[in-house]
Structure 1
């Protein structure tokens, strides 16, 4: 078979798959293999983490939807703590609430020893716990400015601040 015959024989198949409803463009719709439960499960995880941060006196708690910018994760939860001890307590309480309450296990943790920026990776949700100076310096809200901030009330959280 010549190269032209091979190309011609593949063209109708390519056209059919491109127009079929099963075609997939990862930049347009999320992958079910990456997001097997959709974003609803991620929102529950993020809501729990944000509520725990608030319950432990975390400040400036925010949830960012970064689905459009990342195939790896859906949401960021950001919170600021006033001390190393408080950041440790928030991270430990988030782990506890997600594991015991939702069966979610953390994939990894970074920054716990230094406690200026603790990162908890739950796969579809990444929790960032900062001290004030580090949060201001890295300014993830600006770095991920194309992400959408989700109001805490949309997650069922009423912030008493």
Structure 2
């Protein structure tokens, strides 16, 4: 089972739901071997979202598989559908918008070029790793 840091101090029902969705997203990405899963806590920096989850795949097939498993697991575990999905046909950068959480699944080339982490360098950054007990 993956070990992760807590992402927020969940006090309200909405915070608990956001944390539950965030956990489902990161677990899904880990299950399909996403590369360099990074969670940016942007809640103090913007009203766009509370968290950005960024990762990349090794191929366009893996990028699609990562996005698909996130959608499937979040729906099954949290009963939440993405509000919006962009980039599914290109498979180079797929965005899943869960309102409070925006997931960016990218090719390594796109990730290096756009460098979202650098644009939001004031955010609290958490790197997600699959650690064995």
Shorter chain as denominator, the TM-score bin is 0.7 to 0.9
The CA deviation string for residues 16-53 of structure 1, in whole angstroms up to 9 with x for no partner, is: xxxxxxxxxxxxxxxxxxx9713x43222122111211
**TM-score, L = length of structure 2:** 0.83
2:59 to 66, 79, 83: 83
Q: 1:36 & 1:145 partners in 2: Cα distance? A: 29
1:42 to 15, 18, 23: 18
Give the number of equivalent residue pairs. 121
Question: Residue in 2 aligned with 1:63?
Answer: 39
Q: Could you say which structure has the larger radius of gyration?
A: 1
Q: Which has the higher helix share?
A: 1
2:28 to 52, 70, 78: 52
1:109 to 82, 85, 109: 85
Gaps of 5+ in 1: 1-34, 153-157
Contact 2:36 2:127 in 1 (8 A): no
Q: Which has the higher strand share?
A: 2
What SS does the corresponding residue of 2:113 show, helix, strand or coil? helix
Highest RCO, 1 vs 2 (Cα 8 Å, sep ≥ 6):
2
What SS does the corresponding residue of 2:94 show, helix, strand or coil? strand
Gaps of 5+ in 2: 1-11
- RMSD of aligned Cα (Å): 1.8
